[in-house]
Structures are given as C-alpha cells and as structure tokens.
Amino acid sequence: MIESEFAVFCGLEVGKEAHHATALAPDGARLFDAPLPQGEAELRALFAELAEYGPVQVIVDQPNTIGALPVEVARETGCAVAYLPGLAMRRMADLHPGTAKTDARDAYVIADAGRAMPHALRPVDVGEEALAELTVLVGFDDDLAAEATRLANRIRGLLTQVHPALERVLGPRVGQKATLALIGKYGGPAGMRAAGQRRLLTTAKKANPRGADALVDAIWTALGEQTVIVPGTKAADQVLPKLAASLADTLDQRTQIAAQVEEVLDAHPLAQVLTSMPGVGVRTAARILLEVGDGSNFPTSGHLAAYAGLAPVTRRSGISIKGEFPARSGNKALKRAFFLSAFAALRADPISRAYYDRKRREGKKHNAALICLARRRVDVLHAMLRDGTCYQPQAPKAA
C-alpha cells in the first residue's frame, strides 16, 4: 500500500445536474459510493462526513465550469483539491476491468488514481479570482474570433462569386474599418459603382483617413476590370452590408473584451513577466497563464515544450524507422499561442529574427523555422516563470 498523507480519496465525476462520488480508503476500501445533486449543501455534508476518517483529498475530472462549485466547497471545508486530466483518466480506465462507461465507474477510476497513482494528478490553482475571470473572458474572446473568421470568409466568398477582381482588393483588407464602412454602406460591386469614386473616397476617409486614396483607387480599377453582371450580384449587394455590420460589431466586441482581459491580467503577479517578452501580447499572455499557470507543474522547459506539442517525438523500431518527427499531440491552444507569439516576435525582437533567419539558411521552411523559434522561446519563458523575472534581451551571437 502506498503511504499517503490522506485518509480518504474522494473521486467526483462531475455533472451539470448531479455528480457521482466514490470515496476510497488508502487500502482501497469503499467509504462512499453514490450519486449526489449539484448543490452546496449536499457537497458540504459529504465532505464533513468523510472528514471524520481523517484528511480528505477531493479529485475532480473538471476543475472549471461544472466542477467549479465542488472545488470551492471542498476548499472551504478544508479538503485538498486536485484534478485528473482527461487523457490520463482514459488511460487509467483501461487498467480496470470492464469496458462500460458509467459515472460510477469513472468516479472510482478518479478516486483510485489519487490513491494509487498520485503522480498523475495536477493541482488546482488556489482560487485566484483573476484566473476565474480570465477563463470566462478568454473563452468568449475565442468564440468572437471564430465568429469574425466565419463572417470574413462569408464576405470574401460572396465577393469572389460576383466580382473576383474586387475581392482581390477588399479580401485581404476585410477586417479594416474603411473596408467595412464601404461594404456596409454600398454593398457589393453594383452599389459601389453606382456611388461613384468621389463618394467612396469620402466614406473611406471618414472611417480611416490613412490609405483611403490608395484603397479607393484600387477599388475603382477593379470595378473596371469586369463588365459582366454575374447572377446573384443583386442579392449580394443586399447581404454584404449586413455581413459587414455584423463583422464590425464582432470586432468591436473583441476590442472591448481585450481591454477587460488586460485589466484583469494586470491584477495577476505574473502578468508583467509574461508581457515583457517580445511577441507576447495581452491575449497570448492570458492564454499562457490559463494553460501553464506559474509553470511549477513543469520541472524543465522540455516538459513544458512536450505539453505544448512543440518537442519532436523520437520514433525508433529496428533499422526501418529511426528519427524524430513533429508531435501531433499536445495542448493545441497553448501551441497556437506560442506559434503566434513567435511569429509576432520576428518584427519585435532582433534576437528572434536572427534565430529564425539562421534556421531558414539551414534549409527549414517557414513553419518549421517558426516551430524551432517557438521551442527556443519556451526555454526562455520557463526560466522567466521559474525565477519570476522579466525578459532580459541579449545580443545575438555572430554567425
């Protein structure tokens, strides 16, 4: 039997309306095994009953959303809290007999993991209000980003259908204020042609004076490249303003959310550390903070890189398979954050640019060189989180 500081391991398979709780003693004996409603009173009664046996560790499979209430109640009643990641839980479920998928079986697997394999558990960040608020704000921002992408693709698709030349001008600028103002007021090619170049210029300058002349000149040139009216052009002129208005509203909401994220992020002690690194903005810092925390769960930068899916995977089998290949697993959201921050650092940080150029000279393609840069930046970020220090640039080494 594994020695432990806890006398009870309570596994909770959390649910929207009800949970299933299984409590095990260190020797594996069941102390409790029953469903209970999603309510504070029931949870307090259970944890108080289990506390009579000694120190209690509550283990959940989801520490946020539907698992937030059990976590907070467990903390208030003096229980230690941990959570079992989904992938680890599925693998541990294979070690138990049977193939059924029930809440009772899952709760037992969660509790038994805490009893027999405590190394598989991860701590739940102690109730920082900033992290809870960031979770909600960043999740909503992700939804807005997906909606903005959908609307932009819909606008570009309609323009490509009725006037490809106009799409080549407006498509790459579809998220700019001047472009959205023109589409929102005049619609597609028919409406813009009827408005005339002068009115287009007035509207564009009112939305964004910078570059308005060049934009309107390019639009007017594109309108002259096609005289044929494609079926669906009239309907497109009616739909495009609505799509542009929706996209403009979505982008405005993202701007407001970014300001709120920045305000909440400033309250966290690691915010200044993260944003001091070139290429790490407010959204990227919030995502890294949510996925990594203070970095204490990762003993080395290699562990963090592997968790993010940035470390290559070694595959060897006899003499037929031998080498390292890009990882297909890992935390996709964290990997994307590191990748985008590395891309942004190409313009913001000469050191990152020099490293990227060196990888390109070695024959790597753009994405592969960015992955290498992101992996290198993980080493720096891990050291910053470990030491609690801000980014300290160093001159790039001579080739």
Residue 286's Cβ-count burial label (10 Å; 0-12, 13-18, 19+) is buried
Q: Is the pTM of this model over 0.85?
A: no
| AA identity, residue 279 | G
Of 137, 173, 399, which is closest to residue 268 (Cα–Cα)?
A: 137
Question: Are the C-beta atoms of 43 and 66 separated by less than 8 Å?
Answer: no
User: Using CA atoms, how far apart are residues 248 and 93, in angstroms rounded to an integer?
Assistant: 47
Q: What's the chain's length in residues?
A: 399
Residue where a domain stops, chosen among 90, 106, 124? 124
Whole-number pLDDT of residue 24:
94
Let me know if residue 346 belongs to a domain: yes
Question: Are the C-beta atoms of 284 and 337 separated by less than 8 Å?
Answer: yes
Q: Are residues 204 and 297 in the same domain?
A: no
Residue where a domain stops, chosen among 263, 286, 318? 263
User: Using CA atoms, how far apart are residues 345 and 278, in angstroms rounded to an integer?
Assistant: 6
Q: Answer yes or no: is pLDDT of 127 > 50.
A: no
Q: Answer yes or no: is pLDDT of 245 > 90.
A: yes
At 167-201, the pLDDT tens digits run 999 999 999 999 999 999 999 999 999 999 999 99
Supply 37's token pair.
Answer: 């409603």
Let me know if residue 1 belongs to a domain: no
Let me know if residue 90 belongs to a domain: yes
Which helix (H) or strand (E) segment holds residue 10: the answer is strand 8-13
Supply 172's token pair.
Answer: 């790459």
DSSP-derived letter for residue 122 is: E
Which residues constitute the domain of residue 190?
133-263
Classify strands 18-24 and 122-123 as parallel, antiparallel or unpaired. Answer: unpaired
- Count of structural domains within the chain: 3
Q: Are residues 289 and 256 in the same domain?
A: no
Q: Helix (H, G, I), strand (E, B), or coil: what is residue 324?
A: strand
**Between 263 and 100, whose confidence is greater?**
263
At 290-319, the pLDDT tens digits run 888 888 888 899 989 988 888 876 666 666
Residue where a domain stops, chosen among 70, 98, 124? 124
Q: Are residues 257 and 343 in the same domain?
A: no
Q: Are residues 332 and 257 in the same domain?
A: no
Whole-number pLDDT of residue 274:
92
Question: Are the C-beta atoms of 61 and 14 separated by less than 8 Å?
Answer: yes
**Between 106 and 101, whose confidence is greater?**
106
Question: Are the C-beta atoms of 387 and 296 separated by less than 8 Å?
Answer: no
Average pLDDT of the chain is 88
In degrees rounded to 5, what are phi and psi of residue 398? -70, 145
Cα–Cα distances in Å, from 84 out to 26, 109, 237? Answer: 18, 10, 53
What mean pLDDT is predicted for residues 363-370?
A: 92
User: Using CA atoms, how far apart are residues 113 and 106, in angstroms rounded to an integer?
Assistant: 11
Q: Are residues 242 and 290 in the same domain?
A: no
Q: Are residues 86 and 146 in the same domain?
A: no
What CATH number is given to the structural domain containing 67?
Answer: 3.30.420.40
Q: Quick count: other Cβ atoms within 10 Å of Cβ 352?
A: 27
Let me know if residue 2 belongs to a domain: no
At 249-259, the pLDDT tens digits run 999 999 999 99
Q: Are residues 217 and 192 in the same domain?
A: yes
> DSSP of 226-245, one letter per residue?
-----TTHHHHHHHHHHHHH
